Structure 1
C-alpha cells in the first residue's frame, strides 16, 4: 500500500484532504526548482543588468524577509487565508454549517465554530492590512484583492448559487498576480526598476501551484505545502545548493 499523509481536521466542518507522500515530494521538488530560479534570476539576470545600467547596487538581500517563524508559520497561514480562501471547497460546508437550522446542541456548536472560522477568513487579513497600511500601502491594497475574492465567493455561496467560472478565473488571476507582487517587499533594498519585477516571477508560478493545491486538496493542504516550501530554505543541503547557484553565501 502506498504511504500517504492525511491531515485530519480538528472539526468535521472542513472537507478532509488526502495528500500522498509522492504528491508532497513532487510539489516540494517544484518549489525547490522555483527557489533555484529565483536565486539565478536575482544574481545572474537582475543584479547583472542593474550593475551594468546603474553601477553599484545592493548585494543579495534574501529570499524572504523575517525570521523562521514568519517564513514557516505566519506567511503561509496568512497568505493562503488572504489569497486562496475564495477557491477552497471548504467554504461551502462552512457556510452551510453556519446557516444550519437544526436546534440540536451539536449543530449549534458546529454552526458557531463555522461562523468563527468565516469571520477569521475576512477579519484577520483585513485587520493585518489595516495595521500595516502606513508602512505597506501597496501590500495592503494587494491583500484587499484577496479579501474581495473571498467576500464575493461567500456572497454567492450564501445565496445558494454556484460561483460563475468567469468570477473564479478572474479572481484566480488577480489574486495570483497580487500574491506575486506582494513579494516585491522582499527586495526593498533594490532600486525601483522594472527589472526587479522579474524577481517575483517564481512567486507567480508558485501562486498558481498553491491555487491548484487549494482547489484539489483544500486550503489547509496549501498552507502545509507553502510552509514546507518556505522551510526548505533552512535545510543545509538546499541552502548550500542555492548558494552554489547564486555563487555567494546566502547567510
Structure 2
C-alpha cells in the first residue's frame, strides 16, 4: 500500500511541477525542447521501463543503505555519472567512447560490490554517513535530475536547467522509497512511474 501511494504521489508531484515550470518559463523560451519521440517504439519502452529503473536506481540510490560496500560502489557510480554527464557535452565523435567508459566503470564497480558486500566489515554504516544523510540524499537527487538533461536539446539559457527540477523532486521520493522499502521497491516504483508516462504514448500514439 505504501509503495502504491508513493508511486501515485510521485506522478502527481512531478507532473504538477512540470506544468508550473512550463507555465512560468515556457513563454520566455528558455526551456530546451525534449529530444524524446512522441510515440516511442517497443525498444524505447523497454529501455525506459526496464533498463533505466535498474541502472538509475543502482547508480543514484543503491548506496543509500550506507554500508561500506555500497559506498565504495558509489565512488564508481559517481565516476560513471560524471562520464555520462561529460558525454552530453563532449564532441559528437567522442560521446559514444565517453559513455562506454561510464558503462565499463559501472560494471567494474558492480563486480567489486558483489564480491565484497557480504564481508562483515563492509556491512557497517559509518557515523559520518548517518550524520550527513540528508545532504547525501539531496545530492543523489540532484545528480539524478541533471543526468536527464540528455533527454533535451542543448541549453541556451541558465534557467533552462530548471527543466529537470521536477525530476529532482521525483528523485527525493524515490530516495524515500529506497530507504524505507528497499532498492527493489525503488526500482519497481521507478518502473511503474515510467510505464505510466510512456505506456499510453506507445499503445495509443
Does TM-score exceed 0.5, indicating one fold?
A: yes
Question: Which of 166, 176, 180 does residue 202 from structure 1 map onto?
Answer: 166
Alpha-carbon shift at residue 81 of structure 1 (Å): 0.4
Task: State which of 17, 22, 25 in structure 2 corresponds to 1:46.
Answer: 25
Alpha-carbon deviation of 1:88?
3.0
Q: Is the 8 A contact 2:145 2:164 kept in 1?
A: yes
- The Cα shift of 1:216 comes to 0.6
The aligned counterpart of 1:13 is none
Distance 1:173 1:130 in 2: 17
Q: Is 1:36 aligned with 2:1?
A: no
- Alpha-carbon deviation of 1:194? 1.7
- The unaligned stretches of length 5 or more in structure 2 are 88-93
Distance 1:209 1:131 in 2: 25
Query: Structure 1 residue 200: deviation in Å?
Result: 1.3
C-alpha distance 59-181 of structure 1, shift in aligned 2 (>3 A): closer
Question: TM-score, structure 2 length as denominator?
Answer: 0.64
Secondary structure in structure 1 of the residue aligned to 2:29: helix
Q: By percentage of residues, which structure has more helix?
A: 2
The structure 2 residue matched to 1:158, chosen from 106, 109, 121, is: 121
Question: Bigger radius of gyration, 1 or 2?
Answer: 1
- 2:4 corresponds, among 25, 28, 31, to 25
Cα deviation digits, residues 35-90 of structure 1 (max 9, x gap): 42354246423331127xxxxx875544999810111111111010001111137x
Structure-1 separation of matches of 2:79 and 2:183 = 20
Give yes or no for contact 1:181–1:200 (8 Å, CA) kept in 2: yes
What TM-score do the two structures reach when normalised by structure 1? 0.54
Q: Could you tell me how far apart the structure 1 residues matched to 2:166 and 2:65 are?
A: 23
- In the TM superposition, residue 197 of structure 1 has moved relative to its aligned partner by 1.4
Offset from partner CA, 1:7-51 (integer Å, 9 cap, x none): xxxxxxxxxxxxx3xx23322221221342354246423331127
Alignment partner, residue 90 of structure 2: none
Gaps of 5+ in 1: 1-19, 52-56, 96-117, 240-250
User: Aligned runs of 1:197-236 on 2, under 5 Å?
Assistant: 197-236=161-200
Match of 1:105 in 2: none
The count of corresponding residues between Structure 1 and Structure 2 is 174
Distance verdict in 2 for CA 1:38–1:58, change over 3 Å = same
Which of residues 168, 176, 183 in structure 1 aligns to 2:148? 183
